[in-house]
Structure 1
Amino acid sequence: MSPSSTCDLIIFDCDGVLVDSEALACVVHADVLTQHGYAISAEQVHDRFLGRSAREARLEVETELGRAFPDAYTAQLRATIDRVFGEQLQPVPYIADTLGRLSQRICVASSGTPTRIRSSLGTTGLLDRFDPHLFSAMQVERGKPAPDLFLFAAAQMNTPPARCVVVEDSVPGVTAARAATMTVIGFTGGSHCRPGDADRLRAAGAAIVIDDMRTLPALIAPSLNRDEIAVV
């Protein structure tokens, strides 16, 4: 076993991995876009924008429309998500117990804004597990599927990319982590996940895909290396 293969840091995506937010967010995003003249369904938002930042989604839609949304768009989107998440957001099943069983350092690297990450983790009782190690796509030039966010998180945590394992639920997230030369465990246990998602995450480069967080600690026990993760 090569010491360079050891996992020293586990980087978690937030939405759909720590908090079961994606289905709620897709509905809100679709409703607000439609109200601002871009008719789209929650399913279409899921297909196009899952795992990407709201900033990038807005720029893509504005380019397609050939016009910019008013400032009220972002304010309305944030306010509606705040309300819906405050009323309905839940942690991913078993995540709290799972985090308690991990011996490695952990952090969050999410496409959400710093405020959204902190709020979602606070609402679900997970903030104390990660604070202050919360990293947002707003802190880098390019969001997922570019590797910038994961490389930034690893640098902030003083950990070489080769010693990081990422837990992700989206193809852009898996693609970003692989581009950062990190091992990726795909997760399909969120309420937004569909049949075929596991195959899509594997095709994007996930070494293994799980649908129950309780299986995670054994996969990345300190005695296991990257090659062993890939064949579990």
Structure 2
Amino acid sequence: MSYAVRGLPRTAPQTGDLLIDLIIFDCDGVLVDSEVIAARVTATMLGDLGLPISPEDVLTGLVGLDADATRRRIETEHAITLPADFDDRGHVRLAAAFREELQPMAGIVALLGDLRFPYCVASNSGHQRLAQTFASAGLGPLVAGRVFSAEDVARGKPAPDLFFHAAQTMGVAPGRCLVIEDSLTGVTAARAAGMRVIGFCGGGHIRPGHASRLRALGAEAIVGDHASLAAILADLTHEPVRATG
């Protein structure tokens, strides 16, 4: 069954309700408040190599990129070649930090637990990191069998490949997908795939002006927490959706 999105502003005149058959969530910064932790780990590792990069520099320059794009940007901007084991060591250090600190975004456990509607996760993170993320945050049972990674496609976000792949695998046309994204690269990818997007600005990494940048790229609504998102999704699915607990 398809449902009409009635709680979102229109980006263009339409003759009827646009139907949605699938909700696609980003992971980092949407399901879990992980970006600040990851930025600190990355900055520390680069500092060990003699690069004076702060966590804030990582947040403003690298958030939303997949592993290959992150490595290319660092190497290009700083004229260095990262050690071959840089990513592997990063996985180990990040996993340890996640076990100690990572929390699910407030309200997301209840939201997903109550959501009686097809959904999945599409993330630029690799499958290894995603598995660590969901285990640390206690989200594994809620996303099992619904996770897609940039490792599954030729190009990660901001290319649309990952969203196309997720939609095709789930058996839904791209135009009937609604994406929940926090990053500029994610919104860009979703719009390139012909999908509608809600911008999520509830993570600890969000800085002033970010919501405006998401809107400029095509996010047609902005929410600052999962209670606000739940209200939109409840209207979408015609069913109550909690975002507490």
Q: TM > 0.5 between the two?
A: yes
Q: Which string of whole-angstrom CA distances, capped at 9 and with x for unpartnered residues, describes residues 152-186 of structure 1?
A: 11111111011100000111111110111100001
203, 208, 233: which one aligns with 1:195: 208
1:10 and 2:33 equivalent? no
Where 1:71 maps in the other structure, the secondary structure is: coil
Q: CA RMSD in A?
A: 1.9
Normalising by the residue count of structure 2, what TM-score does the alignment of the two structures yield? 0.86
**Offset, 1:36:** 2.1
Where 1:181 maps in the other structure, the secondary structure is: coil
85, 97, 108: which one aligns with 1:95: 108
Partner Cα distance (1:166, 1:82) in 2 = 27
Q: Which string of whole-angstrom CA distances, capped at 9 and with x for unpartnered residues, describes residues 8-61 of structure 1?
A: 111000001001100110111111122223321111111111111122111222
Q: Which amino acid aligns with 2:208?
A: P
Q: Which amino acid aligns with 2:211?
A: A
Structure 2: unaligned runs, 5 residues or longer: 5-14, 240-245
Where 2:230 maps in the other structure, the secondary structure is: helix
**Offset, 1:189:** 0.7
Q: Which string of whole-angstrom CA distances, capped at 9 and with x for unpartnered residues, describes residues 107-137 of structure 1?
A: 1100111011122112111111111111111
Partner of 1:37: 50
Q: 1:65 to 1:195 in 2, by over 3 A?
A: closer
1:222 and 2:224 equivalent? no
Partner Cα distance (1:33, 1:139) in 2 = 27
Where 1:215 maps in the other structure, the secondary structure is: helix
Most deviating of 196-205 and 60-69: 60-69
Q: Which has the higher helix share?
A: 1
1:161 and 2:178 equivalent? no
Contact 1:52–1:111 under 8 Å retained in 2 = yes
Structure 1: unaligned runs, 5 residues or longer: 225-232
Q: Which amino acid aligns with 1:48?
A: G
50, 57, 61: which one aligns with 1:48: 61
Partner Cα distance (1:103, 1:9) in 2 = 11
Partner Cα distance (1:72, 1:100) in 2 = 38
Partner Cα distance (2:50, 2:152) in 1 = 30
Partner Cα distance (2:36, 2:80) in 1 = 28
**Offset, 1:67:** 4.2
| Paired positions, count | 224
142, 161, 176: which one aligns with 1:129: 142
Q: Which string of whole-angstrom CA distances, capped at 9 and with x for unpartnered residues, describes residues 184-227 of structure 1?
A: 00101111112221111111110100011022233132359xxx
Partner of 1:227: none
Most deviating of 1-10 and 35-44: 1-10
Q: Which amino acid aligns with 1:33?
A: L
**Offset, 1:3:** 8.6
Q: 1:94 to 1:28 in 2, by over 3 A?
A: same
Most deviating of 25-34 and 37-46: 37-46
Partner of 1:105: 118
Partner Cα distance (1:65, 1:17) in 2 = 30
Partner Cα distance (2:123, 2:231) in 1 = 24
1:174 and 2:187 equivalent? yes
